[in-house]
Amino acid sequence: MSAQNQQKTCLVTIGATASFAALVEAVLDPTFLSGLEANNYTHLLIQYGQDGQQLFDASLQRSLQSNTPSSLQISGFPIDTSGLKSHLLLAKGHANPSATPGVVISHAGSGTILDCLRISVPLIVVPNSELLDNHQVELAEALAEQEYVVHGRLEDLTGALGEVEQIRERIEGKKWPPVNSGVHREARGLKGVLNEEMGWLD
Ligand SMILES: *[C@@H]1O[C@H](CO)[C@@H](O)[C@H](O)[C@H]1NC(C)=O
């Protein structure tokens, strides 16, 4: 089977507690869909939140009506009460033998971030600027600095996709929690940021 036929999934998750309409809209923008295809993605799966169905449907309609043909398979769901694990594994490419590693794009909730770090699936963290929560930006920056995640910005998610491909092997090779050899100091720093974030579990 050629690389082009292999399933490659981008999972987007906005978390259960807050809505993040701008992220749902951004990942259904025709420009971003083209970016996914350029990076050989075949599937886009969006967890859009309890109140997100209308927004998802409307954004998807808009995209399909644009002139950019897309062969991506796009689907969505509000929340999964059994958790995100199976979806994360799908993005990691572990769900079936013909899959190739993909990516997770997430709001900056520490629960989702930790789940992704634990299974070493490449993660683009997109802080929700509307929440005015500096901790989210701090967390994204601290983790991105050490190449655990890519810090994504709504205006340039396609650029973040490219960045993932550049550091994919390094992300996939990282262990969480960090072993306390050379990265002891870093680990403490990360732990500090994560501890502050813990009230933010989704
Ligand atoms: C996409 O597939 C083409 C053809 O198989 C390959 O040359 C290219 O490196 C792939 N790009 C990525 C980002 O995987």
Reported as a single tens digit per residue, the pLDDT across 42-78 is 999 999 999 999 999 999 999 988 876 678 999 999 9
- Check residue 67 and give its pLDDT: 73
Q: Is the pLDDT of residue 181 over 50?
A: no
- pLDDT, one tens digit per residue, over 122-159 is 999 998 877 766 777 888 888 899 899 999 999 999 99
Residue environment code for 63-74, b if the CB has 16+ CB neighbours within 10 A, otherwise e: beeeeeeeeeeb
Q: Name the helix (H) or strand (E) containing 104.
A: strand 99-107
Domains of the chain, first to last: 3-175 (3.40.50.2000)
Q: How far is 42 from 72, CA to CA, in rounded Å?
A: 5
Q: Is the pLDDT of residue 189 over 70?
A: no
Instruction: Evaluate whether 6 touches 42 at the Cβ level (below 8 Å).
Output: yes
Q: Name the helix (H) or strand (E) containing 10.
A: strand 7-13
- Check residue 85 and give its pLDDT: 92
Going by pLDDT thresholds of 50, 70 and 90, the confidence category of residue 175 is: confident
Our mutation pick for probing the ligand 1 site, out of 40, 41, 167, 168, counting the most ligand atoms within 8 A of Cβ, is 40
Q: Is the pLDDT of residue 23 over 50?
A: yes
Q: How far is 132 from 116, CA to CA, in rounded Å?
A: 24
Instruction: Indicate whether residue 4 lines ligand 1 (CB < 6 A).
Output: yes
Going by pLDDT thresholds of 50, 70 and 90, the confidence category of residue 201 is: very low
Instruction: Indicate whether residue 165 lines ligand 1 (CB < 6 A).
Output: yes
pTM (two decimals)? 0.88
Nearby residues of 147 by Cβ (< 8 Å), 6 or more positions away: 167, 170, 171, 174
Q: Which atom of ligand 1 is nearest to the CA of 40?
A: 1
Going by pLDDT thresholds of 50, 70 and 90, the confidence category of residue 174 is: confident
Q: How far is 159 from 41, CA to CA, in rounded Å?
A: 15
What average pLDDT does this structure show over 86-106?
Answer: 92
What average pLDDT does this structure show over 186-195?
Answer: 58
**49/176: higher pLDDT:** 49
Average pLDDT taken over every residue of the chain: 85
Q: Is the pLDDT of residue 109 over 90?
A: no
- Check residue 136 and give its pLDDT: 76
